[in-house]
């Protein structure tokens, strides 16, 4: 397999969930540092600073930004409760998956479709989707509001 950091071919290495295969601890640390930098960048942006039209990659990025924003504004009491009841939602990537699911359920089906997997892929690829066409910003906001992820007063 090829390392996603140094492109080295390696038979052994580490598989970093959501990131990919790396050949060594050094490459894993580089991958982690890049990911943390990306999350910090997202967290520093205004939530409603978003494109006028969403492609799939824009939607993925914005849902992760929503997750970072939500976690940043979570009270200590709520964070403690969530840590006991569903600790995976304290991970931005996992929370973003939840947000994507909720928004897609409230977005008109003409804009998205589920990708059906066959064979062994079905075991690992639940909830895979694609946006069929660019989705206007207003439609994403409307779907997020219907899912109770944003309020009409949200400005942060």
* Helix or strand (DSSP H, E) at 155: none
Answer for the pair 59, 112: CB distance below 8 angstroms, yes or no.
Answer: no
Q: Is the pLDDT of residue 84 over 80?
A: yes
Does residue 51 belong to any structural domain of this protein?
A: yes
* Residue 71 sits in the same domain as residue 128: yes
Does residue 1 belong to any structural domain of this protein?
A: yes
pLDDT digits (tens, 9 = 90+) for 110-135: 999 876 645 554 444 455 788 999 99
Does residue 4 belong to any structural domain of this protein?
A: yes
> If you average pLDDT over residues 35-47, what whole number do you get?
91
Report how many domains make up the chain: 2
* Residue 62 sits in the same domain as residue 12: no
Does residue 71 belong to any structural domain of this protein?
A: yes
pLDDT digits (tens, 9 = 90+) for 134-148: 999 999 999 999 999
* Residue 100 sits in the same domain as residue 141: yes
Q: Which of helix, strand or coil describes residue 16?
A: strand
What's the pTM value of the predicted model, to 2 decimals? Answer: 0.80
Q: Which domain holds residue 140?
A: 45-146
Does residue 9 belong to any structural domain of this protein?
A: yes
* Residue 69 sits in the same domain as residue 32: no
> If you average pLDDT over residues 16-34, what whole number do you get?
89
Does residue 87 belong to any structural domain of this protein?
A: yes
Q: Which residue has the tokens 């959501």?
A: 18
Answer for the pair 103, 149: CB distance below 8 angstroms, yes or no.
Answer: yes
* Residue 67 sits in the same domain as residue 139: yes
The contacts of residue 2 (CB under 8 Å, 6+ apart) are 8, 9, 10, 21
Q: Is the pLDDT of residue 9 over 50?
A: yes
């Amino acid at each position: 397999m090829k390392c996603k950091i140094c492109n080295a071919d390696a038979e052994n290495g580490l598989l970093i969930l959501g990131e990919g295969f790396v050949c060594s601890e050094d490459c894993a640390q580089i991958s982690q540092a890049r990911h943390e930098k990306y999350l910090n960048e997202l967290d520093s942006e205004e939530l409603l600073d978003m494109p006028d039209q969403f492609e799939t990659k824009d939607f993925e990025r914005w849902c992760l930004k929503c997750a970072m924003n939500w976690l940043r504004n979570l009270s200590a009491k709520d964070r403690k409760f969530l840590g006991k009841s569903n600790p995976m939602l304290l991970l931005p990537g996992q929370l973003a998956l939840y947000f994507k699911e909720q928004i897609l359920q409230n977005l008109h089906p003409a804009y998205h479709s589920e990708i059906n997997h066959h064979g062994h892929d079905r075991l690992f690829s639940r909830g895979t989707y694609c946006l069929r066409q660019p989705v206007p910003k207003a439609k994403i906001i409307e779907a997020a509001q219907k899912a109770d992820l944003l309020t009409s007063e949200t400005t942060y």
